[in-house]
Amino acid sequence: MPGGPESAIRSQINSNPTAFGLPPNPTFEQINQVLQEQMLVPPDQPLWEAYLTYMLGALQGNLGHSIIVDPGASNVALILEAAPWSIFLASVALVYGLVVGIILGSLMAYYEGSRFDVGMTVTVILNSAVPFYIAAIVLLYFGAYQLGWFPTGGRFDTSTNPGFNLPFIQGIFYHAALPVASLIITGFGGQALSMRANSIRILGSDYIRVAELRGLSSYKISTRYLARNAILPMYTGIIIGFGGMLGGTVILEEIFAYPGMGMLMYQATVMRDFPLLTANLIVVTILFVIATLVADFTYALIDPRAEQSSMG
């Protein structure tokens, strides 16, 4: 895009210097001082030096200030206010999507080749081909505007008192219902197919035959015995997928007017608030890296065979 944060701040200073604590006719040095405070780097530094200066500040928790979305506000404060809501959406969608995908995938594997397996495989493949934002628009149109069952935006009911009380908590889940549903509807299919493939590989195991000889129901065998072992290879992908969900909330939160981290990134992009956008991208990247490290470090805890294999 044309322009940049420096030109945007300069134009704001020239139009209203008093908003930045400057006199009516600020000097060039005064303007540069404001630029340095807003962007974290002196405007006259070379690009490589400016990058190092910015990253050193970021490592110390200083990600600059918003210049347009909320002029003068700390980017860290804006992100800390919005991030919990995006994490909440991604977490709830991930948990419910996993539950549906694991149960469905296990049943599909146990009844491999049956009409149920074939029909559900075709259904989840077609379902996975639908982008989540299409499902979001459809749910919003029918669930909120046509039927009026759900709110059209917001994070909670403003008529309730924020805090740890039942009406406020119910309002949080009520406002998150449609965004979460759009992620679950378009996301559980991939988990179900992965679960089916993993389950088929272990169907011939001895403990499955023993469970069948004991006369256990098909549901118990497929969900308890198959699921517990087939889910292990999916563990890393599940954790990393959580980071991917956070990045995908940009469009989702804009559709549902849900003020989270994704909507903050969207506003920063549209309004060309480059310092805020950069700060958001850095935080999302850090969360994604942390999720990857957690998956790698904890895999041996849930599957001791991985540790034994590495030791061997």
pLDDT digits (tens, 9 = 90+) for 223-243: 666 666 777 777 777 777 777
Q: What distance in Å separates the CA atoms of residue 106 and residue 97, rounded to the nearest whole number? A: 14
CA distance 230 to 194: 9
pLDDT at 99: 85
Give the sign of the dihedral formed by CA 256, CA 145, CA 136, CA 163: positive
Identify whether 65 is part of a domain: no
8 A C-beta contact, residue 284 and residue 261: yes
Whether 151 and 267 share a structural domain? yes
Residue 304 domain-assigned (yes or no): yes
Is residue 52 located within the same domain as residue 112?
A: no
- The CATH number of residue 257's host domain is 1.10.3720.10
- Domain assignment present for 293: yes
**Model pLDDT, residue 165:** 82
Residue 78 maps to a domain = no
Question: Residue 68 and residue 25: Cα distance in Å, rounded?
Answer: 22
Structural contact between residues 91 and 242, judged by C-beta atoms closer than 8 angstroms: yes
Measured distance CA(240)–CA(292) in Å, rounded: 6
Q: What is the pLDDT of residue 300?
A: 67
**Do 152 and 201 reside in the same domain of the chain?**
yes
d(CA 190, CA 125): 8
- 242 within domain boundaries: yes
Domain carrying residue 213: 84-311
Q: Is residue 69 part of a domain?
A: no
Same domain, 266 and 127: yes
Q: Are 150 and 13 part of one and the same domain? A: no
Same domain for 46 and 101 = no
Q: Which of 18, 42, 59 is the last residue of a domain?
A: 59
Say whether 74 sits in a helix, a strand or coil.
Answer: strand
The low-confidence residues of the chain, meaning pLDDT below 50, are 309-311
**Confidence (pLDDT) at 142:** 92
CB neighbours of 61 closer than 8 A, spacing ≥ 6?
A: 76
| Same-domain check for residues 303 and 234 | yes
Q: What sign results for the dihedral spanned by CA atoms 81, 83, 89, 91?
A: negative
Helix extents (H) in the chain: 5-15, 28-39, 47-59, 75-110, 115-128, 132-139, 166-202, 206-213, 218-220, 227-230, 235-255, 261-270, 274-302, 304-311
**Is residue 75 assigned to a domain?**
no
> Based on the domain organization, do 298 and 184 belong to the same domain?
yes
Q: Is 162 exposed, middle or buried (0-12, 13-18, 19+ CB in 10 A)?
A: exposed
Cα distance between residue 258 and residue 252, in whole Å: 8
Q: Decide if 71 is inside a domain.
A: no
- In this structure, the answer to whether residues 55 and 92 fall within a common structural domain is no
**Is the torsion defined by CA of 162, 164, 168, 172 positive or negative?**
positive
Our count of domains for the chain comes to 2
pTM flag (> 0.95): no
pLDDT attached to residue 292:
79
Do residue 88 and residue 54 come from a single domain?
no
Q: Does 99 lie in the same domain as 27?
A: no
The per-residue b/e assignment along 28-46, b for 16 or more CB within 10 angstroms, e otherwise, is eebbbbbbeebbbbebeee
Q: Is 288 exposed, middle or buried (0-12, 13-18, 19+ CB in 10 A)?
A: middle
Same domain, 109 and 256: yes
pLDDT at 311: 47
